[in-house]
Chains A and B, each alone.
Chain A
């Protein structure tokens, strides 16, 4: 929908990973159903509907109902994957997520599609840069922001295996496969993708590959930056954050508002236990018109911008 520049060859739209993984899970487990609010195509679930029409519940354009029906399906023994645009799924149905899903503590998997600023030019009504802040303080609700197709598949599989509510952000912005070796995904466990002891960059989602590129740029200056992928925001891996603080400086990077999201979560841990100089990189709030790529560049949420923030922070260390 947004007129983003073509992605580099070999990069992935993680929505494809989502639909492929859900289909694989559905083949093996008849309890898996999908629940959509007219969001079949945008969730890449056309093929699922073709294969299992009776296992797709489309409630129409009704986000409160899509979440509540998910909660009801879980009561009836199903494992529902409720999939809708992240901006509407969260803002429109926040009370259903709070009361019907998190507080009732039911086995519902919420998939926030095209999260962050993926809808670019369509503007702040369609951006979802508040969702991490809104969701991470709900007890019981596991919140995962995967960084690439491998981690998206792992997160979907882990969510299906967990008996409890999960929200997963799935971006439509293309990302490279981070090509980890011997990686093991575990909910609630952050992943150190690059070692370094001069400072730590903590990122999640589509910002992780940009954080890795920033670390590469910093290495050319002789700065060894650790890169931590904090894909699970709730429950938060506080031990890894406190380890990162031992470098003496922490930069957080998220495709989200700078208020209350990943940076806020990390700041709460550091302020409570081990305050170190910090920079929180993200978006300032409602954003001007521009493509997703333009917005990331404009707000310096790219490798150069992250590296610059890191250098400035090191001067305060």
Chain B
């Protein structure tokens, strides 16, 4: 299985990812503006990771979204559906026009993703601390079957305060799940404050190493760095991979940058128009 964009990708993977990341930011912000609901700060911190995965790394087939050989991606920070739905539409899992129904009555695009409504969603998330444990289960299935597919999961950083992640981290380390990659959207902000003011996570890399994981720290907005670390073959590593993607909430728009108010803040018309002028 190859990703649909493979031909473009061969020419210049990073340029394609950059284009898609910009499109995800613009389209998701339009969704949030129209719905007057959403989590745009986290959409923007995760946009580059999502673009890199869907346009540079994941082997998937939108025409056959449950192909058993597919790479899995689990969006554990399920509240950031603006960016997640935008990337799924961009990758071809459903028509872009559906994005205009975001959170409208009876829309398939609920505030949190539902596998039974939308192709491309692997598991229903929303409550935090669920995506990694489920991803560990998927990776174990692949390990038992000696299958080729990889499992990727994106969590927030505040989300790591949920204890379920650390249960799952133990199991993944114990079983040496090299087919599993956790990406942490390390924007250092949770709903109401900085993570380090709330329940501090640092030294975060040491924590994962102590649990038996291989850790890579990258600039989570550097498409080339993300592409290189995520597309490298895991074969022979003998450990699950934790990529700490250092990001900024609201990345790409000046007044949202690193601003906790934009966790679930929504723009008025003036803010929307200014953001669109900046996102070019």
Contact = CB atoms under 8 A, between A and B. Distances in A.
B106 to A, nearest CB: 17
A158 interface: no
A177 B66 CA distance: 43
Contact of A100 (B72, B134, B167, B170): B134
A54 B130 contact: no
A68 B170 contact: no
Given A54-B144, A59-B167, A72 B136 contact: yes
B124 A65 contact: no
Interface of B: 68, 72, 114-116, 122-127, 129-130, 133-142, 144-145, 147, 163-164, 167-168, 170-171, 174
Nearest 3 CB-CB pairings of A with B: A72-B137, A76-B141, A68-B133
A65 B167 contact: yes
Which of A65, A70, A105, A106 neighbours the largest number of chain B CB atoms within 10 Å of its CB? Answer: A65
Contact of B136 (A68, A95, A106): A68
Q: Chain A binding site: helix, strand, loop or mixed by DSSP?
A: helix
Chain A interface size, as a band, is 20 to 34
B127 A99 contact: yes
B171 A77 contact: no
B141 A72 contact: yes
A64 B128 CA distance: 12
A73 interface: yes
B170 A76 contact: no
A96 B164 CA distance: 10
Contacts of A157: none
A73 B138 contact: yes
A70 B171 CA distance: 13
A104 interface: yes
A299 interface: no
Interface in A47-92: 54-55, 57, 59-60, 62, 64-65, 68-78, 80
B136 A69 contact: yes
Contacts of B115: 104-105
Given A65-B133, A68-B130, A70-B137, A59 B164 contact: no
B142 A62 contact: no
Contacts of B167: 59-60, 62, 64-65
B144 A65 contact: no
A72 B180 CA distance: 12
A103 interface: yes
B140 A57 contact: yes
A113 to B, nearest CB: 20
Nearest to B175: A57
A62 B141 CA distance: 18
A105 B164 CA distance: 20
Contact of B122 (A62, A65, A75): A75
Contact of B145 (A72, A76, A103): A76
